[in-house]
A = this chain, B = another copy of it.
Amino acid sequence: MVEHEQAKRGRPGYDREQILQVAVALFIEQGYDATSVAQLAERLGLTKSALYHHFSSKEELLSLALEQALGGLEAVLQTRDATTGTASDRLGVVLHGAVRVLAARLPAVTLLLRVRGNSDTERAALARRRAFDRTVTALVRAAQDEGSVRADIDASVATRLVFGMVNSVVEWYRPTGPEGADQLADDVLAVALDGLRTR
């Protein structure tokens, strides 16, 4: 299908999404800062000018990848189930949704988690991550206020610990492995909300 569309457009090779995928994989492999446009062109088997036909800069590629990750996470916060019901239920919806975004957009989220603020693009992404974290922290605090989440742990520490667990999944999860994304999200939710210990 992709090949057919490319044939129709009369432009052999890669479309923007495919170039982005290869770029993100290369950024993960050797670091964004350490990757040159020349190396990316070589990996793709394209000339630099052919690459610049699709993208204006390396930073545009980074920006698009970070948008995939952040846009996915932010969309979870907008869903009906994340905005109605008890704070405890909404927290569960957000955690489950975040794991599914992570599993579905693994390379983009992996890149997001490595961003350190070395450019305007990276700083903007960090600001959006912090805004996401603040929303989740407020949700944890609301759940503490309604009595459904333990109040003996600071809400921001609790949020960091639980998202530390969520984010750590990028280190080992592979979409082709035995653990499906829904099962993984269920497992994360079970440990985060109910813990390992039997009741």
How many chain A residues touch B (CB < 8 A): the figure is 40
Alpha-carbon distance A165/B48, docked complex (angstroms):
42
Let me know if A187 and B148 touch, CB within 8 A.
no
Closest residue on chain B to residue A166 by CB atoms: B164
Let me know if B165 and A162 touch, CB within 8 A.
yes
Let me know if A191 and B158 touch, CB within 8 A.
yes
Binds B, one of A8-16, A37-45, A62-70, A168-176: A168-176
Binds B, one of A18-26, A73-81, A104-112, A149-157: A149-157
Let me know if B191 and A162 touch, CB within 8 A.
yes
Min CB–CB distance A115 → chain B (angstroms): 12
Let me know if B190 and A153 touch, CB within 8 A.
yes
- CB < 8 Å neighbour of A196 from B31, B168, B193, B198: B193
The reply on A88 being an interface residue by CB < 8 A is: yes
Let me know if B161 and A187 touch, CB within 8 A.
yes
The reply on A138 being an interface residue by CB < 8 A is: no
Known contacts A172-B160, A191-B192, A192-B191; is-contact A197 B165 (Cβ 8 Å) = no
Let me know if A195 and B198 touch, CB within 8 A.
no
Q: Would you give 28 A-B contacts (Cβ < 8 Å), ordered by A?
A: A34-B34, A88-B197, A143-B196, A148-B198, A149-B196, A149-B197, A150-B194, A152-B190, A153-B190, A153-B196, A154-B179, A157-B179, A158-B187, A158-B191, A160-B172, A161-B169, A161-B187, A162-B165, A163-B168, A164-B168, A164-B169, A164-B171, A165-B165, A165-B168, A168-B168, A191-B192, A192-B196, A194-B197
